[in-house]
Amino acid sequence: MNRIQQAAEVIRTEADALLNLTHKLDDNFDKAVTAILESQGRVIITGIGKSGLIGRKIAATLSSTGTRAVFMHPVEAMHGDLGMVSPKDVVLAISNSGETIELNHLLPSIKALGCPVVAFTGNPKSTLGQHADLVIDTGVEKEACPLGLAPTSSTTAQLAMGDALSVVLIDAKGFKPDDFKKFHPGGALGQRLSLQVSEMMVTGEMVPLVAASASIGDALAALDARRLGAVFITDDKGLLLGLLSDGDVRHLMAAEGFDPARPVSEVMTRSPRSVAINAPAYDALNMMEAHQITVLPATDDQGRVKGLLHLHDILGKGAFQFNGN
C-alpha cells in the first residue's frame, strides 16, 4: 500500500466510524440537550490527553454559538479549579476508555456538588459510564492508527458528537446569525476582507491623479489636496505609469537641489505595485503587509487607474488597529 492509499484508508476508517455513530444516538442525547437547555449555569467540559483537546474545541464551539461553556482540566480541578463548578452547571466528561484515572477520581466530588454528569465514552459499562447520569456512546470499531494505539477514529467521533450537540443546541435556542456576530466582533474584519477592492476603494475626483508631464509641485498640490498618502501618475489614457508617496516627497525635500518645477516623471516610482479592482480585499492587505505600504492604486484589466485603496479603508476607518497600538 502506497502513501496515498494509506491516507485514503485512514479517511475511510474515520468516515465509517462517524456513520456508525449515527446508530448509537438514543434518548440520552435528547436528555443531555434538555439538561443543558434547562440549566441555569454553564457546561463544564473535562477530559485529559487527546480527549481533553477535543473537550477544549467543544467548549469553544458551544461558547461561540450561544451556550456558555468552559474547559476544566481534571488534574487542576483536584487542586482548586473545582471551585468553578456550581450545582447549576452540567458537566460533560470525555474519555474513550471510560477508565481515565484522573477523570474518575474527580467524579465523586462533582456528584457531591449535585451537577448532572454527561459522559462521552466508547465504553458505556466503564467506571465513567456507571457514574454518569447520561451516557452518550462515542465508541468506534477500530482506530485508524495501524497500531491501534493513537486516538484517531475515537477522537474524531468525540469531536463529531460535540458538534452534533452544539448544532442541536443552536436550533433549540433559536440562535441567529446576528447572535453569532455578537460573539465574533473580530468577524467584522473578516467580512470586510471578503469584499472586492471595488467595493471599498476611493473613486472619482477623490483619486489624486496627475499627468506624466506635471511638475513635482503639481503632484505635491494633488497630494496635499486629497491627503491620501500618494498621488498616481498616468498617461492620457489613464494607464498607471508611476506613484509619488508622502515618503518619496520627504526624501526629495531632504535632498539638496530640490526643484518643484522638475517633472514628476523623473522622480516617481515607476511601475508601482497595484491591485485589481475585482480582487478580494485580503489580497490587497497581504500585499500591503508584505511590502510595508499603506496605499495601492486599483486598476482595471487594462492597467487604467480606477481608484485608490488605503489601509484604513480595509480596516474600517480606525475600527481596527495593528499591534495593539
Q: Which residues of the chain have pLDDT under 50?
A: 318-325
Q: What is the pLDDT at residue 319? A: 44
Q: Tell me, what's the pLDDT at 1?
A: 77
Which domains are present in the chain? 3-184 (3.40.50.10490), 194-315 (3.10.580.10)
Residues pairing with 119 in the sheet: 93, 135
Q: Residue 321 has what pLDDT?
A: 41
Q: Which is it for strands 275-276 and 295-299: parallel, antiparallel or unpaired?
A: parallel
Residues in the chain: 325
Output the pLDDT for position 145.
92
pLDDT digits (tens, 9 = 90+) for 60-104: 999 988 899 999 999 999 998 899 999 999 999 999 999 999 999
Q: What is the pLDDT of residue 317?
A: 56
In angstroms, rounded to a whole number, what is the distance separating the alpha carbons of residues 311 and 293?
8
Identify the pLDDT of residue 325. Answer: 35
79 annotated as a binding-site residue: no
What DSSP string runs through 104-118? Answer: HHHHHHHHHHT--EE
